[in-house]
Amino acid sequence: MTLLRNRLLLVLSLLAGFAPGLAQAHKFWLLPSSTVLSGEGDWVTVDAARSNDPFIFNHNRMGLDGLQIRAPDGRTVAPENLQEMEIRSVFDVQINQPGSWKIAVVDDGLFARYERNGESHRWRGTAAAFKSEVPADADKLRVSERISRAEVFVTSGAPSREALEPTGRGLELVPQTHFNDLYAGETARFTLLLDGKPASGVDVEIIPGGGRYRDALNSMKLRSGDKGLIEITWPRAGMYYLEASVSDQQTSSEAASQRRLTYVATLEVLPL
């Protein structure tokens, strides 16, 4: 049964594009219908997908098991109309509280590769499930910890900061310039955190959406500076994909020797 289940997981994780060791992992991203709202109780619908091209649905849905919606008062809110479809997932959120909301899909767990009876296996799951699901006597066992976050931010009325507080785990971005106060031609400042502490010297890539309609990717590459500072001057209005990733050995599970951390945010820049 365990073997079958592991095989199933292997197939599922391959399907979901989770398989490590592939030279190029697909990007994962959320795409909100709006980020700045007025009035009361308006709705936002959010797409979630994995693909090489930000905001273009051409590969696979993003699983939503790790979906976390934090309202301005800090409470967790359940999504509505959640559906994991073929090449995208989707859910709705009623923005029924003024202030800023954080919508995140968090993937926090272990990834294992091992051999047993001459066959190679891949396993993915929580640290708690690891002991019972991965045979202790497996050959060539290699375990890594993976924490990835994809986030979007929505503000109704005046921006607030409570829901944007970092969790202190993995790579995260905190605003100096509010995430819903971004305008073409202006410079935004954010702080990149690793386990809640400023992370300097981390590569960050920013890709504007709409890549299908131009020849160049127009990606902006920068590195977080002193105290984790990132400064971005937005060339034009639109949706932007921001990604940062690092690897280290600061694992929280004894079983894992390596840790891979990825942070992705989708940011909307408005015209002046």
Partner 1 sequence: MRSVLFNHRTRFIALGLALCAQVAIAAPAARLGIEIPRLGVAEYHPPYVAAWIEGDGHRVAANLAVWYQLDHKGGEGEKWLKDLRQWWRRSGRGLEMPVDGLSGATRRPGQHTLVFSAEDNALSDLSPGDYQLVVEAAREVGGREVLRIDFQWPPQQAATLSARGERELGDITFELIP
Contacts of 29 (CB under 8 A, 6+ apart): 48, 49, 50, 51, 54, 55, 62, 150, 241, 264, 266
- 38 lines the binding site for partner 1 (CB under 8 A): yes
Question: Is residue 271 involved in binding partner 1 (CB under 8 A)?
Answer: yes
Determine what percent of the chain falls in helix, strand and coil, rounding each to the nearest 5.
10, 50, 40
**In the numeric block, which tokens belong to residue 265?**
């945010």
**Is residue 174 close enough to count as binding partner 1 by CB under 8 A?**
no
Q: Using the rule CB under 8 A, is 108 a contact of partner 1?
A: no
| Choices 31-39, 141-149, 207-215, 256-264 (CB under 8 A): range interacting with partner 1 | 31-39
Query: From CA 209, how far away is CA 179, in angstroms rounded?
Result: 17
183 binds partner 1 (CB under 8 A): yes
The span from the CA of 21 to the CA of 241, in Å, is 23
Name residues contacting partner 1, limited to 127-156 (CB under 8 A): 155
Cβ(149)–Cβ(263) below 8 Å: yes
Contact 145, 258 (CB under 8 A): yes
Q: Is 186 near partner 1 (CB under 8 A)?
A: no
* Per CB under 8 A, 36 contacts partner 1: yes
Stretch 213-252: interaction string toward partner 1, x if CB under 8 A: ----------------------------------------
Site residues for partner 1 per CB under 8 A: 36-40, 42, 155, 157-159, 181, 183, 270-272
